[in-house]
Amino acid sequence: MDNKRMPIYGIKGKLVSACCMLLVAVIMVVSSTYAWFTLSTAPEVKGITTSIGANGALEIRLNSSATGDGNATPGNVVDLSTGYGLDKIVLLPSKLNIDADGKINNRFLMIPQYGANGKVTDVSGERTEAGTFVNGNFVAENDDTVLNGVHAVGVASGLTPRQLAYRNAKYAASTNSGLATNKAASSLNTNGSVLGNIVIKKATVEGATYTPAEVNALKAIVADLQGEGTTTGVLQYIEAAYEQMIIAFAASAALDKLEGVDSVELKDSIYSTVKANIEGDTLSLADIADADGIVITVGESNYKFDLTGLDILAGIEAFITTQTKVANAKTKLDALGEKTEYTWDDIEDSLNDLFNTNNVKVNGMTASEIQGDMDGFALKVMNDGINIELSTGAGVYAEIADQCGKYSAKVTMTNIKVKGMTFETLTANMTASSTQTHSYLNLAQAAVVVAGEPSGATASAQPMTEFYGYIIDLVFKTNAANSNLLLQTEATDRIYEDNNNELTQGGGSYMTFESTAADFSNEQVKGLMENIRIVFFDTDTRTILGYAMLDVARASVGNDGVTAKIYLYETIDNGDGTVTYQALTGDKTADNAPVITALAQNQDVKVSALVLPRR
């Protein structure tokens, strides 16, 4: 038996392909309306029908950047039956790859490792990457790939370990950059109102004092930036992005150009040493900045990737400066002690490490300009509300924008006093931006791309030949307040009263398989269905929202095949190496059914579904 094509639990490969595609039959329900995936067809490689629908106040679309993709338009139906390559996938056994923060790793899945006898020894391989369907094949996603919201997770067997490492590290760098931006925006959203209060109070109130709550907010900003406990901070994400770029650079064609490095074995050894030293914290970004490059020792020889003049080095040096400022601010804030109130002299030194209040602009005016034109500032507040700009030179939030690009937040400020007027509440728009044309991380990523794929790589991406899962990225929006995205709820008509049409009642999530092969029974179909898992996660942050599986024990058999409902579930560790899966059924009313995620009113909510067979 070819171990690379081994079907899960002895089930025929053809049926594995088609039936796993059917797993997209997930019905999502919200308390005010509902959305659903419906799919029912014979388990064959051809004729796969996949549709995702919504009605009422809920819109659904595919998270796609492909030009002309009708599924990227908000509406009631997303049709994935053609053009997305779902019928090309045969899923092999795998295991979810979760990082130290409990999020899905950038390599997504752990895959089987095989012994000399062809049998699986363990499931620990980390060679998978995401692929998009292009010209009849799934190919690894790179900077030029137009993403269509549907990804295979697999391996391009024709790639060398260095080629795959180069691509995976580039992707991981991009992911961490995005996480840094999201975390910075979240921090600004949480603590920005206090920052705004401090700046406005300094500009408008003579001898102003500051409360313990305001000082604690500054400490919270430091915690957001540095990370606290098991929570990853903005700077940690940026550091991880640079580390992955260094790993990618060490795997790139730049390695092929090092003097005296000729053999494949030496090249692989240099790359592996760089990666191990970066991941083992024996080679830091500060070391690289001090040496103007990556200096590594292999055997008795030293090798150096010279980064002088490359944007990757400029970004690292700027980042280290920001790290130092935040560390200094933490030391000074911790030294303040506990008081009932703080003066400007108390907080100025620590605040200056975080923010240059002279460069922060409120409604286009600096603090000194506000002091010189209080009437003009008061008029702007009355007409325009509060708009706070943190641009290059205004402090660490702006420096993060230098690294990651522009981001913003909307906060509510309270008890703002200007020229004898008191504004009890004001909505403030806060923007962190950069005067740079391109952010440091984008420039560094470009330097890695220019370095090029390592020798042996083809000009075009090689097609994937092994598949272990697939991902569908969706975007939901509802105009109803207090809504949740669910899998199961009692059937309720939401279109008009006194209607018994089951198609409009949204009775819950289900999947239907039908076998057209005479030698493949319904019991065998159920066996296949028992081994399917769905992981719902936040598309941007990769935070896991929930796990789902089929309730095969209570599946029904009809003329159209085997139908089983899909439930969120929890795992129970039995303490003996085994795990029990227990469905979270709740009472299935809209108020009490298990929730995938909340749906904020009139806001896009991105949810991805990762489908994989249980190992």
- The 3-state DSSP class for residue 424 equals strand
Report residue 45's pLDDT band, with 50, 70 and 90 as the boundaries.
very low
Mean pLDDT value of segment 259-278: 87
Amino acid code (one letter) for 279 = E
Amino acid code (one letter) for 437 = T
H or E stretch at 185: helix 161-204
Q: Choose the weakest-confidence range: 23-37, 219-233, 500-514.
A: 23-37
CA distances from 159 to 8, 156, 168, 228, 461 (A): 25, 6, 12, 39, 9
> Tokens in use for 34?
């509902």
> Tokens in use for 218?
């500054």
Neighbours of 98 (CB within 10 A): 14
* Spatial distance between the Cα atoms of 14 and 91, rounded to a whole number of angstroms: 10
The pLDDT value given to residue 505: 43
Closest Cα to residue 43, out of 465, 528, 611, 554?
528
pLDDT tens-digit map of 145-157: 667 888 889 887 6
Report residue 318's pLDDT band, with 50, 70 and 90 as the boundaries.
very high
For the CA atoms of 583, 587, 589, 593, the dihedral, rounded to the nearest 10 degrees, stands at -30
pTM: 0.58
User: Using the 8-state DSSP alphabet, how is residue 542 labeled?
Assistant: -
Average pLDDT, the chain: 75
Query: DSSP letters of 356-395?
Result: -TTT-EETTB-HHHHHH-HHHHHHHHHHH-EEEEE-TTSB
pLDDT tens-digit map of 287-309: 999 999 999 888 888 889 999 88
Report residue 53's pLDDT band, with 50, 70 and 90 as the boundaries.
very low
pLDDT tens-digit map of 358-371: 777 777 777 677 76
- The 3-state DSSP class for residue 87 equals helix
E strand spans, 347-400: 361-362, 386-390
H or E stretch at 35: strand 34-38
- Based on C-alpha coordinates, what's the Rg of the chain? 27
* Spatial distance between the Cα atoms of 13 and 528, rounded to a whole number of angstroms: 11
**For residue 458, is pLDDT > 60?**
no
Closest Cα to residue 79, out of 62, 100, 96?
62
pLDDT tens-digit map of 378-430: 777 777 777 778 888 778 888 999 999 888 877 676 666 666 666 666 677 88
Measured over the CA atoms of residue 403, residue 64, residue 75 and residue 505, the dihedral's sign is negative
In the block, tokens 């990225």 appear at: 473
The pLDDT value given to residue 15: 36
The pLDDT value given to residue 418: 61
According to DSSP H, which parts of 453-543 are helical?
522-529
